[in-house]
Structure 1
Amino acid sequence: MSEILNYVKINELISTSGQPSVEQFKEIADYEYEVIINLALHNASNAIENEDKVVTNLKMAYFHIPVDFDKPKLSDLKLFLNLLQSLGANKVWIHCALNYRVSAFMYVYHKYILKTPFENIDLSIFEEWSPEPIWQELMKVNYEDLYKA
C-alpha cells in the first residue's frame, strides 16, 4: 500500500490516497476494501479512464463526488460527510488526484464526526500542500453551519 501516491491509513475502515493505478485498485480490493470514493474530477491529469468500471469489476462499490479544486463547495463537503457516515462499517478507500481534497475533507470528518484530538490527526499531507484560502475556510467550517447551508 505504501506505493500508492500519498497513502494515509485513517483507521481500520478508512484509508485515503492520491489516484491509484489500475493495478493498485486490485491491491486495494485484495485488502478487502468494499467502497471507493473518488473526489477528483473525471479529467484530472492522472485520472483513470472508466475508473467506475475498473472498481466495480473488482466487486467494490464506486461513488464519485467531483470536487473542483479551485472552487470546492460546502455542498461537496456535506455530501461527502453524509456519504461516509452512511457507509457505517464498510471498509472505504477515498482518493482524489493527490490526496489534497480528501485530506481537507477528512480533517473536517476527524474534527466533527470522529472527534479525533487535533494532535492525533495525520497532517503530514499538509507538509507538501499548503491549502489556499478557499480550502482553509472550508476546513474551518462550523459543523452546525454546514447543515444550515
Structure 2
Amino acid sequence: MGDPSDIRNWRRRSDAITTSGRLEAGDPARLAALGVRHVVNLALDDHPEALPDEAEKLAAERIGYSHIPVPFDAPRREHVAELARVLADTKGPVHVHCIMNWRVTAFFYLLDLENGVPKREARARMATVWDPLASDDPRLAPWKALLSS
C-alpha cells in the first residue's frame, strides 16, 4: 500500500515518520495498514475539522495516541520539546498531524535545526507545506517569533 495522496498535506519524512493535516473517519484503518503504531495530534480537540473520538478510533486499530494541543495563536517551545520527547519515547512508525500540517512542519523545522540540519534545507522541507517566515500576515507573528528564536 502506497502513501495516501488524499490525506491533507501528507508527507513522508522517513520510513519511521509521516505527517499530515487532519484525519478523517477512515484514516485510522489506513494508517494501521501502512504500519503506523503511534499517532501524535497537535491540533485542538474543539477545532471544527478535528476527528471526533480520535483516540478511541486509533485504539480500535491498535495504534497508540498522544495529544499535544497547540493553540495556533500561542505555539511554545515547550510544545516542541514535548513532541521531541514523545518521538524519542515511542516505538514507530509514528504519524504526526494537526489540521493543515502547519504546526507539524513548523515543529519539525525546529527539530531539524536542533539535529544539525542546515537551515536552508530545514526551511525548504517546511516550505513544501507552508512558510510562515516568508509571510507578513500579522496572525503568524507567534509562529515567526517561535521559528526565529
Query: Moved runs in structure 1, 4+ residues, more than 4 A?
Result: 127-131
Task: Provide Cα deviations, 1:54-100, integer angstroms capped at 9, x if missing partner.
Answer: 0111001000000000111221121112211222x510000001111
Distance 1:78 1:127, change over 3 A: closer
Q: Which residue of 2 aligns with 1:145?
A: none
Q: CA deviation at 1:26?
A: 1.0
What is the CA distance between 1:118 and its match in structure 2?
3.9
Runs (5+) with no aligned partner, structure 1: 142-149
| C-alpha separation in 1, matches of 2:83 and 2:147 | 13
Look up the match of 1:59.
Answer: 62
The structural deviation recorded for 1:11 is 0.8
TM-score for the superposition, normalised by structure 2: 0.85
For the aligned residues, what is the CA RMSD?
A: 1.9
2:93 equivalent in structure 1: 91
* In structure 2, distance between residues paired with 1:47 and 1:100: 14
* Deviation sequence 1:24-50 (CA, Å, 0-9, x none): 221111000100000000011111111
Out of 136, 139, 144, the residue aligned to residue 144 of structure 2 is 136
Tell me, yes or no, if structure 1 residue 125 matches structure 2 residue 133.
Answer: no
Instruction: Give the corresponding residue for 1:6.
Output: 9
User: TM-score of the superposition, structure 1-length normalised?
Assistant: 0.85
What amino acid is aligned across from residue 43 of structure 1 in structure 2? D
What are the Cα deviations for residues 91-138 of structure 1, in whole angstroms up to 9, with x where unaligned? 00000011111111011111113x333454422111699471211221
Across the two proteins, how many residue pairs are aligned to each other? 139
Indicate yes or no: 2:79 matched with 1:71: no
Deviation at 1:140, TM superposition (A): 2.6
2: CA distance between counterparts of 1:112 and 1:98? 23
**Which one-letter code corresponds to 1:124 in the other structure?**
T
What's the CA shift for 1:9?
A: 0.7
